[in-house]
Structure 1
Amino acid sequence: MAGQTDQLIKPGSGHGLLDVYGDRFLLKLLVRKEIKVRYRGSVLGLLWSYVKPLVQFLIYFVALGIFLNLQRGTPNYAIYLFSGIVLVNFFTESLSNATRSIVDNRDLIRKIYLPRELFPVATVWVSAAHFLPQLVVLVGACLVVGWAPTLLQLAAVVLIFLMVAVLGTGLGLLFGAMNVYFRDSENIVDMIVMVVTWASPVLYLWTMVAKVMGDWFWIYQLNPMTVAVEVFHWAFWEPTLKADQLVNDATPPGMLTLWLPIAMLITLAVLFVGQLTFRRLAVHFAQEL
């Protein structure tokens, strides 16, 4: 009996995100469940992964590219625009769904114990499943206009994907835990989602911001999503330009050597704070739900 007692684990305790890796099978089941529930009764199903960003792209392209004539000063503006949209959509979908993940799975959480981190992480995986088809469309469009990336640019794409996934997970853990206690968290996240598209150079060039902010431009660069979008433009949009279309200010100075490492450090800090907050609040999730 003494030996069995020593092996008992205090309810609610665990190793955080490390437990998610240990319960990979449960994570796989949750991802399948999320996808099935989301498209239950839907005619198009996963095809919505193509339709939604396509409609969003067309609206922005017509409003900004044609009506405001931004495409005139930006070669291959359609590639520039879409490469930013698909990345920001991945982040916003991950954050929004992760924020609601604990509350949406309240029935399961109240019945059994399993690592609570599984729910936000599963939603990020679902968002990744939506991101990949959009990425395929982006690559196809880039190839049509002569995309010729280097190995470094392809590696940067993978790195940025992982960074944005970690950022979405960290913020999702933070706001997902807070949302159990304060439902206003969903409204805060909705505002973040609304702002992030405009707070990153998705629809416009970073040089426009630099001209306005001047010496304070570094504040704009502290946003990890700003750096992520700039790297995506460097990897997808810039290799589609001809030699006479390239300009010296296509990418911000020090993007890879300075701002990308800073963005990664900020992302890891967000993940640490999100995991710490989540673990402290997760103990009483079942009671609060």
Structure 2
Amino acid sequence: MTPPEVATGLVAPGRGRGLLDVHRNRYLLSLITRKEIQVRYRGSVLGILWSYIKPAMQFAVFFVAMGLFLGLNRGLENYAVYLFSGIILMNLFNESFRNAARSVVENYNLIKKIYLPRELFPVSSLWVALAHFFPQVVVLVVACLFFGWVPGLAQVGAVLLGTAIVAVFSLGIGLLFATANVFFRDAENIVELLVMITTWASPVLYTWTMVRDAMAPWMFALYMLNPLTVATELFHFGFWQPTLDASSTWALPDAFFSLWVPVAIGVSLLFLFLGDLAFRRHEGTFAQEL
């Protein structure tokens, strides 16, 4: 019989403590993150400059199509800032979610050879996305300064909170789909569909008031349950609102900060909890399934 003091020190093979193990393996996380960035730009002439070029081209396409052809820029002051502040936030979510969802499958060789906390792969995808997100924020800040951007503490806090909401939400849903993708490769197709519609499901190309005026109250409430909607408006509040003329009447309602921001935080944390729970429950069989 195994002595109690020995038995209590044993853990099930292939099982960890979820995201807590990521914190204990921060150095390993940094190695994986650097490896992902180096692999991404291996053989590339422009390298990290693609983090500037790709969103700039995306902005140009949307600005011409939505701003000029459909005339949204005529009804919205500083539409360029409004548009770009939403685009870079969606880029953060899309990149983090897409890469996290396939991170386990893409690292199957390493997972099948040694044990290490599997959560490191989805979390590293988030850090890589944040590394690409930072240059885009720098470009946005420069553009905002050109339009007379003078932020206060509330605006800076809104930007940081919006970024945190997207990071937590994308990691949570990324963990869920990373788990599903191990067993059902159709999950990747679902991820691509979700990535395709996220920009349209949040007030990036249009204003949230258009949705409020066109939908029934219960449908609008469902729309506002999307954490990306709230995070996008926090970015508009942080970057776009300070560039408006002093006579502008644009303002977010009090209910947005008192109700929808806490709801967005709660929904994001719920998805993170569910994603971590599902991942920990099934990670013990990842190696044999892959």
Deviation at 1:12, TM superposition (A): 1.3
The Cα RMSD (Å) is: 1.3
Aligned position for 1:213:
215
Structure 2 matches for 1:24-103, cutoff 5 A?
A: 24-103=26-105
For residue 254 of structure 1, give the secondary structure of its aligned residue in structure 2: helix
Residue pair 1:156, 1:235 contacting (<8 A) in 2 also: yes
Aligned position for 1:275:
276
Deviation at 1:253, TM superposition (A): 4.7
Aligned AA (2:139): V
Whether 1:128 and 2:121 are equivalent positions in the alignment is: no
C-alpha spacing 1:163/1:157, structure 2 compared with 1 (3 Å): same
**What runs of 5+ residues in structure 2 fail to find an aligned partner?**
none
**What runs of 5+ residues in structure 1 fail to find an aligned partner?**
none
Aligned AA (1:234): F
For residue 74 of structure 1, give the secondary structure of its aligned residue in structure 2: coil
Aligned position for 2:234:
231
Residue pair 1:206, 1:252 contacting (<8 A) in 2 also: no
Residue pair 2:15, 2:283 contacting (<8 A) in 1 also: no
Aligned position for 1:251:
252
Q: Which moved more, 1:152-161 or 1:180-189?
A: 152-161
Distance, in Å, in 2 between the alignment partners of 1:23 and 1:100 is 21
Residue pair 2:168, 2:268 contacting (<8 A) in 1 also: yes
Residue pair 2:158, 2:237 contacting (<8 A) in 1 also: no
Q: Which moved more, 1:128-137 or 1:144-153?
A: 144-153
Residue pair 2:227, 2:265 contacting (<8 A) in 1 also: yes
* TM-score with structure 2 setting the length: 0.96
Structure 2 matches for 1:180-199, cutoff 5 A?
A: 180-199=182-201
For residue 143 of structure 1, give the secondary structure of its aligned residue in structure 2: helix
* TM-score with structure 1 setting the length: 0.96
Deviation at 1:257, TM superposition (A): 1.2
Q: Which moved more, 1:94-103 or 1:158-167?
A: 158-167
Distance, in Å, in 1 between the alignment partners of 2:260 and 2:20 is 29
- The percent identity for this pair of structures is 58
Residue pair 1:79, 1:142 contacting (<8 A) in 2 also: yes
How many pairs does the alignment contain? 287
Distance, in Å, in 2 between the alignment partners of 1:252 and 1:90 is 26
Distance, in Å, in 1 between the alignment partners of 2:85 and 2:243 is 12
Deviation at 1:149, TM superposition (A): 1.3
Structure 2 matches for 1:94-173, cutoff 5 A?
A: 94-173=96-175
Aligned AA (1:163): I
